[in-house]
Structure 1
Amino acid sequence: MKKILAGAVAAVALLAVVPAQAAMKEVTVGTEAAYAPFEYVDTNGQIVGFEVDLGNAICAAAELKCNWVNVPFDALIAQLQEKKIDAIMSSMSITEKRQQTIDFTKKYFQVPNAFVAKKGSDLEISEEGLKGKVIGVQSGTTNADYLKAKYEDSVEIRRYPTQEEVTMDLVNGRLDAMVVDSVIGSEWFKKPDGQGYGFVGPMLRDPLFGQGVGVGLRKGDDALKAQFEKGIDTVMAAGIPQQLSQKWFGVNIYE
């Protein structure tokens, strides 16, 4: 019931800030729908989640019609450059490395990352404490960049195409720990295979994780960037992201 009410409040707030528009520009938005509750495919085959709801609110406020497509995370930038998609909304952090090839809007959320291991693990999150350990991470992510920069000389880093494969190898004992978005980790702990696991050490808040999550766009697509940023400003002012955060996570990740 709380989720239904939160969704209704967000919808009413959105109606108050979105102008009537007969025909809106269509934009194809790429996302890897494998990160519940951020974005995932529901039982009806629809891409849903916190970031999808927020993205649709941003698009509506920007007077854009967004069509979502499921794309592997490490293929998103290539598909953007090849014009198979027009924008990326897939919890992609704004980093200097990525800004060399694509543009980003201002951020629309930011969540800390963390190490995850079995509960009761005696892992110490330091170069000496992790020495010789096997740490899993999804390739192409800021988590992978962080591990490479901080621990490449002391740990064995195993990179996987998907986060599901990382967690599978952790459960099967092939990894000592993994690095993951803290909200995704918290959601995984609620599942049967995630029980008995928890965060190890402090939340990770390093410049290597970027400046927050923004909409990824092709270089020089300034008009679309301006539209998206107008949408971000509008929904932020209306408090919609905070309402959607409560709906999907039960907490306000904007605090």
Structure 2
Amino acid sequence: MKALRLLSQLCLVALLPAAGASAHADLLSTIKQKGEITVATEARYAPFEMLQDGKIVGYGKDILDEVMKALPGVKLKQVDVPFQGILPGLSAGKFDLVATSLTITQARAKNYAFTYPIATATVTVLKRKGDERIQRAEDMKGMVVGSQAGAPQVAVLRDFEKDVLKPKGQALKDVKEFMDYNEAYAALASRRVDAVVQSLPNLAPLIKERPGVFEIIQPPFGPASYYAWAGRKDDDSASLVKLFSEEIGRLNQSGKLAELQMKWFGFAMPVPHDRVPAPIN
């Protein structure tokens, strides 16, 4: 009997983790141990993320390179993923973090953990240069308006129609959703849509490149909103999201974020440096 009890005790000891060892290595620890992090980006959202000579460049890439300095010895594997598959891919564990311009919304905040913001995402109207029919957002009534499929700008547009236009007995004629914004801009130029709704920062380089084709309607419309990056909303990813938030906050406070904004947009965008702003609907 004593021999059996001794054998049982030895078996239990063998099953226990070694003294001082962690029962579970979280995602950040795993990344450091592996020496590689996989980050997903939609490289079709200039000047935040875009392809140049086959490489991802832009405002977001510059921020990512700065943040990676906090992970010495870790190789960055950045993959270009279509916007519609980027969050499902994150949920499925295909990559560790999404570093692309995501508007902080209530629906996303329920399922994903956002970093501190990297830019404003306030929505405005883009029209063809010289189209005098549109002087303000309310003038989109009876028109066909384009945007990117699955983007929060579509929801902002729908809310604007419901809250501002319909009480006046007005409505949009139609909302056309495109695979990406470049398609929406092409449709606007070719008169297949009357206007495009997009976040103000993204339109700055387009106007700079094609000033004779498009123009922006001011002021913006809809609620104040922000762009951020995201990780999975679980204990495993919490420390990774925290590290990215702290590094983005540090860049914000040091003035580096504003410097990069001037480089890519031509203007600075003050954003909170120590919190994730309240999500929009």
TM-score after normalising by structure 1? 0.81
- Retained in 2: the 8 A contact 1:61–1:235? no
Aligned residue in 2 for 1:216: 230
Query: 1:234 deviation in Å?
Result: 2.5
Deviations 1:29-57 (A, max 9, x none): 111111222111112x1101111001221
Tell me how far apart the structure 2 counterparts of residues 247 and 76 of structure 1 sit (CA, whole Å): 27
**Matched position secondary structure for 2:198:** strand
| 1:197 maps onto 2:214 in alignment | yes
Deviation at 1:116, TM superposition (A): 0.7
Q: Residues 111 and 253 of structure 1 are in contact (CA less than 8 Å); yes or no, is this contact kept in structure 2?
A: no
Instruction: List aligned pairs for 1:100-249, cutoff 5 A.
Output: 100-121=110-131, 122-127=133-138, 129-151=139-161, 154-155=171-172, 156-192=174-210, 195-204=212-221, 206-207=223-224, 210=225, 212-220=226-234, 221-249=237-265
Counterpart of 1:37 in 2: which secondary structure?
coil
Q: Partners of 1:157 and 1:103 in 2: how far apart?
A: 30
For structure 2, which runs of at least 5 residues remain unmatched after alignment? 1-31, 272-281
Q: Establish whether residue 47 from structure 1 lines up as the match of residue 65 from structure 2.
A: no
Tell me, in whole angstroms, the C-alpha distance in 2 between the residues paired with 1:60 and 1:66: 11
Tell me the CA shift for residue 124 of structure 1.
4.4
Question: Which aligned runs of 4 or more in structure 1 are off by greater than 4 angstroms?
Answer: 22-25, 62-65
Residues 242/132 of structure 1: CA separation in 2 closer, same or farther (3 Å cut): same
Contact kept in structure 1, 2:140 and 2:195, CA below 8 Å: no
Larger RCO: 1 or 2 (CA < 8 Å, sep 6+): 1
Specify the code of the residue in structure 2 equivalent to 1:28.
T
In angstroms, what is the RMSD of aligned CA positions? 2.3
Q: 1:74 aligns with which of 84, 92, 102?
A: 84
Quote how far apart the aligned CAs of 1:231 are. 1.5
Q: CA deviation at 1:131?
A: 2.2
Change (3 A) 1:202 1:28: same
Distance in 2, Cα, partners of 1:236 & 1:61: 15
Deviates more, 1:116-125 or 1:137-146: 116-125
Query: TM-score scaled to structure 2, two decimals?
Result: 0.74
Q: How far did residue 82 of structure 1 move?
A: 0.9
State the identity %. Answer: 26
- Contact 2:189/2:213 (<8 A) preserved: no
CA deviations 1:74-124 (Å, max 9, x no partner) are 211001011111111211111111112211122222243210112232214
Give 5+ residue unaligned stretches, structure 1.
1-21
Match for residue 9 of structure 2?
A: none
